[in-house]
A and B are shown apart, each in its own frame.
Chain A
Amino acid sequence: MRNPRRTEKIAFFFLLLATLLIVVPVGLIVVIIIQKGLPAINWQFLSDMPRQGMRAGGIFPAIVGTIYLVAGAIIFALPIGLLAAIYLSEYSRENMLTRLIKLAIVNLAGVPSVVYGLFGLALFVVFFKFGASILSGSLTLGIMILPIIITASREALESVPSSFREVSLSLGASKWQTIRHIVLPNAIPGILTGTILGLGRAAGETAPILFTVAAFYLPQLPHSIFDQAMALPYHLYVISTQVPNVDEKIRYGTAFVLLALVLVMNLIAIVIRTRFRKKKKW
């Protein structure tokens, strides 16, 4: 005879098991990277140029390169993404054009990152003649994270109650004043969260920078945005597959730094979000 309580227990067990299975790979990745990478981390590793064909020394130029690329991507993507989000959420009306724009954003989010790389190569490197440079790489990464920023910003703007807009307009504020004084301040935490998640994504991607900026081995810091630069994800790829006899410690050390960078960004996003949730009362 069937015992419903036992059936339920078995079902719960499998549900729990499936959920735990999600945690396992995340935990393992973090543990292995920390275990193998942490011993490599010291001040010299973080602040020194790579030496002996990247078999010794540090990863300083790759860290700097990644920071430049991420900063460049955000300088490009945040204003455009935010303005687009404001237009879509506050100004546009539902019609063919806005449907087309929304469809484009969804599809932009689904494009494989290597395709962005190729696109960046064709448009920025070759057509605009920026060459393989921080500028080209930043623009390519910027386009890649644009949909993340637009989507997060739109959600943040749309979560501001419409009654706030109504009151503001009824007090004689113009539409722009309403957006500027009421809607944006209340949406900023959500916009920031989305932006930081975009940053994390930009920091970790290899394919978009492969053809547009990344230098195989460049033991100096870039001098301008038209220089090539090293970057952490590509550096990791290079020392893992292209250079023989690299100490495992260096590889895992590089992976550790990259992972730490991305996790810290995500952590900041989570902190902002929780703080905001606590404060929000409407």
Chain B
Amino acid sequence: MAKIAARKLNLWYGDFHALKDVNASFEPKKITAIIGPSGCGKSTLLRVFNRMNDLIEGVRMDGEVLIDGANILDPCADLVALRKKVGMVFQRPNPFPLSIYENIIFGERIHGAGVTRDELDGIVEKSLKDVLLWDELKDRLQAPALSLSLEQKQRLCIARLIAVRPDVLLMDEPCSTLDPQATARIEELMRELKNNYTIIIVTHNMQQAARISDDAGFMLLGELIEFGKTDQLFTAPQDQRTEDYITGRYG
């Protein structure tokens, strides 16, 4: 069964129709990439899944988005529970101006009651190990997170997210501020994370989508033009517009 399914999803910013009749299913423990030119609505689609678009004034949605069978567009949906389950990694690494340690246990501070120091230490260690930062940082956990390199910051943000124990990771161009080596290492990390999480990544970088994703979707002007296996989308696209985009005719 699909982890996330969008059915006839429409979204408007005021009068602007940003998502048009989007239908897609996202498989558990797979990486699904969404590609398309700037302004096509791919970030908007991503932000539907944790309802971050709600922060923008004048947003309206209709249709259905089922996560584990429950419609998250339901007006009664519990946004706090949703966002614990569906976490997000942002384009710019954005650790809080706190220590490395405090960044990771932020979720625990918010959600956990009566967690002991030992348990917190355990969470920090496990989360940092999961993002392969533990060996680098274990001796300076109290250092300010803002002193880290960009790549370390982005890994830390992923660790901070993992510490909340989500099921789904939404990644909004997570490598766009990183150099090629750092990008490669983050991609490697994503392949690791795939074993435990359902990952949806929005990316500008078609090669990245081709390298790491199992499924892929191509969006244009608010429509999901084509959605399917990554291999097929890149080698034998069904739609002329997809082909034009991936062969670099525009975008």
Q: A167-B90, A282-B97 are in contact. Are A93 and B57 (CB under 8 A)?
A: yes
Determine the interface band of chain A, counting residues with CB < 8 A from chain B: 10 to 19
| A186 CB contact (under 8 Å) in B80, B97, B106 | B97
Inside 8 A of B97's CB, which chain A residues have their CB?
186, 280-282
Q: Which residues of A contact B (CB under 8 A)?
A: 93, 163-164, 166-174, 177, 181-182, 186, 280-282
Q: Are the C-beta atoms of B52 and A169 separated by less than 8 Å?
A: yes
Any A CB within 8 A of the CB of B87: yes
Q: Which B129-159 residues have a C-beta within 8 angstroms of A? A: 144, 146, 157
Q: Are the C-beta atoms of B83 and A171 separated by less than 8 Å?
A: yes
Q: Are the C-beta atoms of B50 and A171 separated by less than 8 Å?
A: no
Inside 8 A of B55's CB, which chain A residues have their CB?
166, 169
Q: Are the C-beta atoms of A166 and B110 separated by less than 8 Å?
A: no
Sampled A-B contacts (22; CB under 8 Å) = A163-B90, A163-B92, A163-B94, A164-B96, A166-B55, A168-B106, A169-B52, A170-B83, A170-B90, A171-B83, A171-B107, A172-B83, A172-B84, A172-B107, A172-B111, A173-B110, A174-B80, A177-B110, A181-B109, A186-B97, A281-B144, A282-B146
Inside 8 A of A163's CB, which chain B residues have their CB?
90, 92, 94
Q: Are the C-beta atoms of A171 and B160 separated by less than 8 Å?
A: yes
Q: Are the C-beta atoms of A181 and B90 separated by less than 8 Å?
A: no
Q: Which residues of B contact A (CB under 8 A)?
A: 50, 52, 55, 57, 80-81, 83-84, 87-88, 90, 92, 94, 96-97, 106-107, 109-111, 144, 146, 157, 160-161, 164
Query: In whole angstroms, how far apart are the Cα atoms of A173 and B55 in the complex?
Result: 14
Inside 8 A of B164's CB, which chain A residues have their CB?
171-172
Q: Are the C-beta atoms of B146 and A181 separated by less than 8 Å?
A: no
Inside 8 A of A186's CB, which chain B residues have their CB?
97
Inside 8 A of B111's CB, which chain A residues have their CB?
172
Q: Are the C-beta atoms of A170 and B96 separated by less than 8 Å?
A: no
Closest to B160 in A: A171
Inside 8 A of B161's CB, which chain A residues have their CB?
171
Nearest Cβ distance between residue B47 and chain A, in whole angstroms?
9
Nearest Cβ distance between residue A128 and chain B, in whole angstroms?
41
Inside 8 A of B110's CB, which chain A residues have their CB?
171-173, 177, 181
With most chain A CB atoms within 10 A of its CB, the pick from B83, B90, B92, B160 is B83
Q: A164-B96, A181-B106, A181-B109 are in contact. Are A172 and B80 (CB under 8 A)?
A: yes
